[in-house]
Amino acid sequence: MKINLINFKLTKGKTMKKIIAMLSVVLFSFGVAKAGELTVTGSAIASYAISSSDGTAAANNLEKGLGIENEFTLGASGELDNGYTWKYAVDIDSVESGATNDDAQLSVTTPQGTIAIMLGEGALGVDNAASQSVISRPSDTSYAEGMYDTYDIDGYDNVQYHTPAGLLPYGISFKVGYAPSGQASQANDYQDAGSVNSQTSTVDTTATGGIAVTVKSASATHYQIKASEIPFIDGLTVGADYFEVSGGNGSIQQKPESGAYYLTYAAGPAVIGYSKNFAAFPVNVTTSDTLESVENTKFSVGVNVNDNLSISYENEKSQPQTTRNATQYEMESTGIQAAYTMGGMTLGVVMNDHENATYTQNKDVKDTVFSVEMAF
């Protein structure tokens, strides 16, 4: 099953030569960088979650959850002698055994565009770009409903190129990311020599949500395009992305790939969002029925009631398909949310409903979350 979502595909050889050339300029330029500015940003959020299920399949009444999570980013920026600007950022996550640093990025912006090295950063997928949920999407709240999602280049170590602002008409921006392998490096080790890549692509059936597929390939490429100044339609933005891999075992019949498109329309205090995304999972030669693909449709609307209060509604539907078209159950998640902001504090309430959670018939779950978030 081949998914051709975006017909334009860059010639990889020419694209990579340009990226490597710009990367060489970046590395040389850092030798004459001026002293930069250090910043610290982040947030801390506390939540109280209540989940229950009255469905006929896997009915449960989970314990109430009370938790606190925080993450902050150390950033630095500066200017080079030639007028180019540079940025660095690394996330510091709080974990049970202590703080750990990950998700690092280093970039240089020139009149010809931005070149960046990303470790666990630089997501280019637009499958959730249209979401207007004021707290978080229904499938990304507290209950692990297990909705399959698309692939994204931020799951790999990658190098990216972004077109400069104003280069293309109609507010068009173009980004491309290239990952030379499927491994993930340490954000604090510039001497990382890489590791053995099995190049094995498999569906992770035990995943609880998000990207539910393990992809280890020879390389991966991700393209993204957005337009924010559509002629004759004020308030409309559109975009699309396409992800593909090369090499990889365990995918002889079908290689993994994914893509999405979205649009948002702003009218006064309200914004409407719609997106469609597809993912083809790796399929090996097999005599048994196996998961082949998934198609998701998402619709949302958000309204700024006043300067402090915002409300939203979002509906997400996910339909899987197998190689032999065995019966698969569509999962549906809906959420009504409200957020009240007072300076750097946001009070939130989320009420979600999940039908056929984990793609199991009649596994229906209600999920309510109260939260308070402090931004700094």
**Residue-wise pLDDT tens digits, 39-59:** 888 888 999 988 887 767 766
**Residue-wise pLDDT tens digits, 189-215:** 555 555 555 555 555 444 444 444 455
Name the token pair of 94: 């709080």
pLDDT of residue 190: 55
For residue 31, being part of any structural domain is answered with yes
pLDDT of residue 229: 92
Q: What is the largest CA-CA distance in the chain?
A: 67
The answer to whether residue 22 scores a pLDDT higher than 80 is no
Q: How confident is the model at residue 249 (pLDDT cuts 50, 70, 90)?
A: low
For residue 7, being part of any structural domain is answered with no
Of residues 259 and 282, more confidence is placed in 259
The answer to whether residue 100 scores a pLDDT higher than 90 is no
Q: What pTM value is reported for the model? A: 0.83
CB 272 within 8 A of CB 264: yes
Q: How confident is the model at residue 64 (pLDDT cuts 50, 70, 90)?
A: confident
CATH of residue 220's domain is 2.40.160.10
Q: How confident is the model at residue 151 (pLDDT cuts 50, 70, 90)?
A: confident
* Overall domain count for the chain: 1
List the beta strands (DSSP E) in the chain. Answer: 37-53, 65-79, 85-95, 98-110, 113-119, 157-162, 173-179, 202-203, 213-214, 219-227, 236-246, 257-267, 270-280, 291-304, 309-322, 331-342, 345-355, 365-375
Closest CA to 29 of 112, 98, 102, 147: 112
For residue 343, being part of any structural domain is answered with yes
| Domain encompassing residue 155 | 12-188+198-375
**Max mean pLDDT range (257-261, 309-313, 321-325):** 309-313
Name the token pair of 329: 């159950």
Q: What is the mean pLDDT of residues 308-330?
A: 92
For residue 5, being part of any structural domain is answered with no
